[in-house]
Structure 1
C-alpha cells in the first residue's frame, strides 16, 4: 500500500497570511483600547 501526501499550497499560504493579519489586528486593537502611543518598549524603543 502506497502512502500519498497531498499539500494544498494555496490553503497553507492563506492560513499563514490570515495568522499574520490576526496578529497585526490584535496589536492595533491593543493600541486603540489603551489610548497610549507606546504600550511596550517594542512599539517605539527610541520614544521611551
Structure 2
C-alpha cells in the first residue's frame, strides 16, 4: 500500500535545524508546534 500524495496540514517547524544542539532544536520544534496548534484550534472554534 502506498502513502497518499497529499496532506491535511504542512508546516515548517524549523527552517535550519541544528542537530548538534538537540535540546535547543527540541525547544524550537515544541514552540512552533504549539503555535500552529493554537492557530488550528482558534480556526476550529470559529466553524
How far, CA to CA, are the matches of 2:38 and 2:46 in structure 1? 12
Higher helix share: 1
Q: Of 23, 26, 32, which aligns to 1:11?
A: 23
- Say which one has the larger Rg: 1
Number of residues of Structure 1 aligned to a counterpart in Structure 2: 28
Query: How big is the alpha-carbon RMSD for the aligned residues of Structure 1 and Structure 2?
Result: 1.4
Aligned counterparts of 1:11 and 1:34: Cα–Cα separation in 2: 35
Q: Secondary structure at the match of 1:17?
A: helix
State the TM-score, normalizing by the size of structure 1.
0.54
Question: Taking structure 2 as the reference length, what is the TM-score of the superposition?
Answer: 0.55
